[in-house]
């Protein structure tokens, strides 16, 4: 990369309020290390305690989603890869993430996320309580958690969470049963 291009990259990140950006392999060690760094960064920029807590929680849910559900790639036991950024937009903070997913998981994601985007805060809290008491969730063969991840992100967000699924037939993932999944929460 040429230094003038890196300068553009850096300025673009700054113009968009980016406080933290990571791309690459996700492991539990990476999540813990980023978590520590992120907490320090949020303290340095003077984020209020409540925002710090919500940004951290949203970060953990998104990072562990990448860890658990990112498309594993072609190689056996290949690390899970993705990207995650935290930034500031006026009085708000945002957490965004992106990672490759299996094409067959697209409808499942849409079914989970579309209703969340239309719910009020009270409806999200009610759905959270209901899922907390849902004893049937353990039968879900895909989920590796409590089925509360997206609800937790939605609960902490100040506005409906945004998602985008990119089908890029031209890129390296295109023809291999993958899509790129993006998620954004504003706090």
Part in contact with another protein (CB under 8 A); list of ranges 4-12, 107-115, 137-145, 177-185: 137-145
In the list 17, 73, 115, 145, the residue contacting another protein (rule: CB under 8 A) is 145
d(CA 135, CA 148): 13
- Of the candidate residues 85, 152, 180, 183, the single one contacting another protein (CB under 8 A): 152
CA 18 – CA 96 distance, rounded (Å): 10
Report the relative pairing of strands 92-102 and 178-186 from DSSP bridges. antiparallel
Dig out the tokens for 40 from the structure: 């320090």
Rule CB under 8 A: is residue 117 a binding residue for another protein? no
Per the CB < 8 A criterion, the answer to whether 102 and 177 are in contact is yes
Quick one: 153 or 179, whose CB is closer to another protein? 153
> Is residue 117 classed as helix, strand or coil in its secondary structure?
helix
Nearer to another protein, 41 or 125 (CB): 125
What is the length of the chain?
187
- List of residues contacting another protein (CB under 8 A): 28, 31-32, 35-36, 49-50, 53, 56-57, 60-61, 64, 67, 125, 129, 132-133, 137, 144-146, 148-149, 151-152, 155-156
């Amino acid at each position: 990369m040429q230094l003038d291009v890196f300068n553009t990259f850096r300025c673009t990140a700054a113009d968009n309020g980016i406080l933290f950006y990571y791309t690459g392999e996700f492991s539990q060690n990476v999540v813990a290390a980023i978590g520590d760094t992120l907490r320090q960064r949020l303290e340095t920029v003077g984020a209020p305690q409540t925002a710090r807590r919500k940004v951290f929680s949203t970060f953990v849910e998104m990072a562990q989603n990448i860890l658990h559900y990112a498309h594993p790639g072609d190689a056996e036991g290949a690390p899970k890869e993705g990207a995650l950024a935290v930034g500031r937009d006026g009085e708000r903070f945002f957490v965004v993430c992106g990672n490759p997913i299996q094409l067959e998981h697209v409808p499942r994601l849409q079914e989970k996320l579309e209703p969340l985007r239309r719910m009020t805060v009270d409806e999200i809290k009610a759905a959270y309580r209901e899922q907390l008491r849902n004893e049937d969730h353990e039968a879900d063969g895909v989920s590796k958690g409590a089925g509360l991840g997206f609800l937790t992100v939605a609960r902490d967000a100040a506005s409906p969470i945004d998602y985008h699924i990119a089908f890029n037939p031209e890129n390296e993932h295109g023809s291999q049963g993958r899509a790129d999944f993006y998620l954004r929460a504003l706090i």
